[in-house]
Structure formats: C-alpha cells, structure tokens
C-alpha cells in the first residue's frame, strides 16, 4: 500500500465503481466555481490569518472583515460545479470537506461533514450566538457604503477574502446581542477541529475496510486535518485513491493517484456507478 500508482482515469473509475466510498474534498474541487485554491499549480503564496492573530485585537479583526466583506460578495454568489453535483449523485457513505464555501451543501450532498465549518455563518466570541453571514453582510454594507466601489477590484483569495492592504477606515460590526467580536464560524489556522467532527469522520473511514475506498479529490493534504484520514485508512488496509493536480502529502500512501481535473473525473465516476446500480 506504500507505492503510488499513476493510473489511467478509466482504470481508477473501474476500481471505484462498485466500492463503498468515503470522499475527502479540498479547495481544488471549487476552483471550477471560480474560487482559487491555496496550493494548486501556479497558485501564489498566501498566508491566511491565524486564530491567534484574529483574537489579538481590533486592528486584526478590522483587517480581516474589510477583506472578507469583499470576498464574501463573490464567494456567496459562487455556484456548485460539475464536481459538486457529481459527488451529490455518488452519495458516498460520508463526504468530508475541508472547504468552507458551502457548495457541497448547495449541490445537495446528503451525508456531509464540513470539517472546518461554513463561512456562511458567524459566531460571537463573547456570547457564542450564531447568525447568518448574509445578515452581517447587509449590516457591513450599511456601515461601509462605498467600500465595494472603492475596493471591489481586489483579487480574491481562497477562504472568502481578498488581497487588500488599506483597511484602516473599515467599520466593523459587533454582535447584535452583546456587542462582542464576531468571527466566521470556521476553523482558522491555529484552532482545532471539534473532536466530535473528527470522530464521526474516523468512524466512517474505519467502517470501509479493504472492500471500500477513501477518495481524496482536490486536496494537497498539506495540513493534518485532512491527511489524518488518509493515514487512518492506509493503516487499516483501506485503499486510498487521490485525484489532484499536483503532488500531495498522501501520495506515498495512495493505491492510485490521478493528476486530472476533479470535475471531469467525478462526473465520469458518477456515471459509472449509476450504470452499475
């Protein structure tokens, strides 16, 4: 199980056609929806804000929300692509996504764990009240009426923000209940994924056995939050299939590795599985 095999697409599709699947998706799956990824071929180097930086004070939060306000206007309008729709049709026993864009939910995937949360929700760090990002966006529009006109051209980043340095005059909104600081309800770098989410994913991977497979689509597996499931599957003898443009940290654990577009591959796999049903 330690040798990565570059297999033709048809061979990989045939290998997965009648197996029980757990799917693990990353940012590469959403690039066809216009959302850039962090580590794909040609992607610029980006340093996302850490949780520790976010909670360090008002200036960091102003910088985050000034950028995120612009990015959300685009991410919130993104639509699921063929890969999202194909995975909804495949309906794996569990779909684990590292993405926070909500596109798997929009495509109708019924059995889903959003490992890092959803950027469409916000949470108060003081009272823990959760609220809709759409409602917050309206409040921020009212407080910063000309922000979009002045900075709407800024380049988009993967996590729903943009590249922008001049953020000092952005007005941040607080919690409507207690006035506390708001944070998107996602797991920042430097935070831990909630233990119950991780355990749910482990349980699904453990149930696969040698006759199932863990399918990784569009993830470089650079961070341990996703790589741990590949390691778990490999240790138990469950086949690991990786479909990603470029190398990943899990390549040496893969039984099959395919460097191709995720949308095309998943659509072909969905058609193959439907034929066998």
Binding residues for Zn(2+): 124, 127, 175, 178
Helix axes 82-90, 262-276, angle to 10 degrees: 30
Q: Of the candidates 248, 251, 217, 213, which has an alpha carbon nearest to the alpha carbon of residue 233?
A: 213
- Binding region: 124, 127, 175, 178
Q: C-alpha angle 51/53/59, rounded to 5°?
A: 125
- Strands 240-243, 256-258: parallel, antiparallel or unpaired by DSSP? parallel
Per the annotation, the verdict on 116 as an active-site residue is yes
Count Cβ neighbours within 10 Å for each residue of 140-177 and write b for 16 or more, e otherwise.
beeebeebeeebeebebbbbbbbebeebeebebbebee
Q: How many CB atoms lie within 10 A of CB 27?
A: 23
Residue 192 burial (10 A CB sphere; 0-12, 13-18, 19+): exposed
CA 253, CA 227: separation in Å to the nearest integer? 10
- CB-CB contact of 180 with 126 (8 Å): yes
Alpha-carbon dihedral 78, 82, 84, 90, rounded to 10 degrees: 160
> Chain-centre distance of CA 213, in angstroms?
20
- From the candidates 116, 151, 168, 256, which is the catalytic residue? 116
For 115, phi then psi, to 5°, come to -55, -40
Strand order in the sheet with 256-258: 112-114, 94-97, 21-25, 213-217, 240-243, 256-258
Q: Which residues have a catalytic role annotated? A: 116
């Amino acid at each position: 199980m330690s040798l990565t095999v570059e297999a033709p697409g048809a061979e990989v599709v045939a290998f997965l056609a009648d197996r029980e699947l757990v799917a693990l998706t990353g940012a590469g799956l959403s690039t066809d929806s216009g959302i850039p990824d962090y580590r794909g071929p040609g992607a610029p180097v980006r340093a996302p804000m850490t949780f520790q930086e976010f909670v360090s004070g008002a200036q960091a939060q102003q910088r985050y929300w000034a950028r995120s306000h612009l990015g959300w206007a685009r991410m919130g309008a993104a639509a699921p692509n063929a890969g999202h729709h194909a995975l909804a049709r495949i309906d794996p026993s569990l779909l684990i996504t590292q993405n926070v864009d909500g596109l798997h939910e929009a495509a109708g995937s019924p059995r889903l764990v959003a490992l890092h949360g959803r950027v469409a929700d916000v949470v108060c760090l003081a009272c823990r009240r959760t609220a809709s990002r759409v409602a917050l966006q309206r409040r921020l529009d009212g407080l910063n009426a000309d922000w979009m006109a002045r900075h709407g051209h800024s380049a988009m980043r993967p996590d729903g923000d943009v590249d922008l340095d001049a953020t000092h005059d952005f007005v941040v909104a607080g919690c409507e209940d207690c006035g506390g600081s708001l944070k998107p309800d996602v797991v920042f770098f430097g935070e831990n994924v909630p233990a119950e989410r991780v355990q749910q994913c482990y349980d699904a991977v453990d149930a696969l056995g040698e006759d199932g497979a863990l399918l990784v689509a569009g993830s470089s597996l650079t961070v341990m939050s996703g790589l741990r499931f590949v390691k778990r599957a490999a240790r138990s003898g469950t086949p690991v299939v990786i479909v990603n443009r470029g190398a990943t940290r899990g390549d040496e654990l893969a039984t099959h590795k395919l460097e191709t577009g995720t949308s095309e591959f998943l659509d072909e796999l969905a058609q193959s599985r439907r034929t066998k049903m």
